[in-house]
Structure 1
Amino acid sequence: MSLARRLEVVLAPVVLGVVALVLWQTAVVVLELRPFVVPSPTSIAAELTQNASFIAAAAVSTALNALVGLVVGVVAALLAAAVSAAVRTLDEMSAPLAAAAAVVPIVALAPVLYTMFGANVQTARIAVAAIVSFVPVYVNTLRGLRTVAPVHRDLLRAYAATRRQATTTVTLPGALPFVFSGLRVASSLAVISALVAEYFGGPVDGLGKAITSAVSSSNYPLAWAYVVGAVVIGLVFFCATAGVERLALHRRTPR
């Protein structure tokens, strides 16, 4: 990629973001919108500056829960998909469970997990993030493991390749893009689920609790400042996932 193209890729979203903020600020001033409707970007920026340490601490707490839950969910999903791909009966048995896990609402799941694990630990929030992360990775990985082209399978049989050789040379490389497709979705869902789970109990930390506290005291710019912290976490997770995907796919691409 040329330097000009790289600058275009970087500057285009920055310019769009600046334009959006200017339009937002203008709309708030011209329409005289009240803070409880939508605060101005300048007031949110002021709260960000004044409460940077508190926002950072809450963001770190939420990010750690989301990260641990994401790792647990992804590892469990990869193992389950590998076993289901090897044993079709398990695949058929687990399909209803995966579908059920995909539609369980966090608002119903979080209070139950707080009752099970206790409201003074982070376990319930991590469990919510893990369950939500499990489904997209499991479904996409299983699909990737099932999509080996018949011509490739026949070619390996013709060369008397072992099952292990077929798995490492064809099945796993072919499934890798599907794995990362699921991982991209799961990384965002982990942050969202960990944040939402904080609304329903648990230790008094994290962005979810902070947003609730700010709204209850009618400090809407501060609440939006905490929302900005959540957006930053989501962007970090997305960029990290994209970076790992690019590195993995680049390494397996022949030169």
Structure 2
Amino acid sequence: MKLIMPENKLSFRFVHSVLPPVLFGALIIILGETRILHALLSVTEVQLPKTSSILRVIFENGPKIVHDSWVTLQVFLAGIVIGCFAGFLVALFAAFFPKWGVGGLTVISAFNAIPIVALSPIMRLWFSNSPFAAKTAVVAIVSMVAMSVNAYRGLTDLKPFSLDLMESYAASKAVIFFKLRLPNCVPYIFIALKINVAAAMIGVIISEYFAASVEGLGFVIRNSLRTTQLTTGWAYILVASIIGILFFTLISFLEKKLMRNR
């Protein structure tokens, strides 16, 4: 019986988590290829190319798409790492110095109200000599907000009896941090990372709209839309979406592995 249960559990997870989105994606492809989707949305094939046309563009322009994806990926990784690290430092400061930190956390949260479309040109002016730094700054700011808010909650939203127990043993602040606050913060960090994957990808694509460089997924999407090469634009949008999905899946996998024995 013990040998059968893991297989049943794996099948249950596959049916309820993997199969529905796969079937939904297949349905959208079929509706698009048969032009039923175009009729439902009242759009032409020029506005919404068929999946086969999009895939053809991807295969025909493979080397260039790989190069542009790598350019975008570098900004994505640099921005999300810097932003998450800075956001966690802000959360630490707010948790250990609540009188000053909470106010700073509020100011950081206000950054979330700044439109990326407005933030990107500002960063381009600030870092006029380095397009890479300008794009990275946009992604870092976008990523910092979610991490600071979620990490702060994880560091401070403790069960009262657990904190009282640590203090009753005269545990130092360092011991409380590493044995209680930091482990309690781990799930909130993964929540922030999942949020930041989507936010950072949007940030880097929009920042490439306004960047001085002539490479990257965002630049090609903008250039394709301007020159009415919509199939190429949709191809690059699909590639950007796949990159975001892969990173989201990777974070979810690491979360399950690290949280299994928590």
Q: Same fold (TM over 0.5)?
A: yes
Query: What does 1:14-25 correspond to in 2, within 5 Å?
Result: 14-25=22-33
Larger mean Cα displacement after TM superposition, 6-15 or 161-170: 6-15
* Aligned counterparts of 2:129 and 2:71: Cα–Cα separation in 1: 15
Aligned partner of 1:132 in structure 2 is 142
* Aligned counterparts of 1:176 and 1:117: Cα–Cα separation in 2: 34
* Aligned counterparts of 2:181 and 2:165: Cα–Cα separation in 1: 13
Aligned sequence identity (%):
29
Size of the alignment, in residue pairs?
252
* Aligned counterparts of 2:23 and 2:102: Cα–Cα separation in 1: 49
Preserved contact between residue 145 and residue 171 of structure 1 (Cα < 8 Å): yes
| CA deviation vs aligned residue, 1:14-39 (integer Å, no higher than 9, x gap) | 22211121012223587494334211
Aligned partner of 1:222 in structure 2 is 232
Aligned partner of 2:34 in structure 1 is 26
Query: What does 1:26-175 correspond to in 2, within 5 Å?
Result: 26-27=34-35, 31=39, 33-118=43-128, 121-175=131-185
Shift of 1:120: 5.2
Are the structure 2 counterparts of residues 191 and 29 from structure 1 closer, same or farther at C-alpha, using a change threshold of 3 Å? closer
User: TM-score, normalised on structure 2?
Assistant: 0.89
SS in 1 for 2:34: helix
The ranges of structure 1 where at least 4 consecutive aligned residues each deviate by more than 4 angstroms after the TM superposition are none
Are the structure 2 counterparts of residues 54 and 96 from structure 1 closer, same or farther at C-alpha, using a change threshold of 3 Å? same
Shift of 1:183: 1.4
Show structure 2 runs of 5+ residues with no match: 1-5
Preserved contact between residue 32 and residue 38 of structure 2 (Cα < 8 Å): no
Amino acid at match of 2:11: A
| CA deviation vs aligned residue, 1:43-93 (integer Å, no higher than 9, x gap) | 112111111222221111111101100000011111111121000122232
Shift of 1:179: 1.4
Preserved contact between residue 133 and residue 189 of structure 1 (Cα < 8 Å): yes
* Aligned counterparts of 2:189 and 2:20: Cα–Cα separation in 1: 29
User: TM-score, normalised on structure 1?
Assistant: 0.91
Amino acid at match of 1:160: A
Amino acid at match of 1:207: L
Whose RCO is larger (CA < 8 A, sep 6+)?
1
* Aligned counterparts of 2:144 and 2:124: Cα–Cα separation in 1: 20
Larger mean Cα displacement after TM superposition, 37-46 or 89-98: 89-98
Residue from 5, 9, 16 that aligns with 2:12: 5
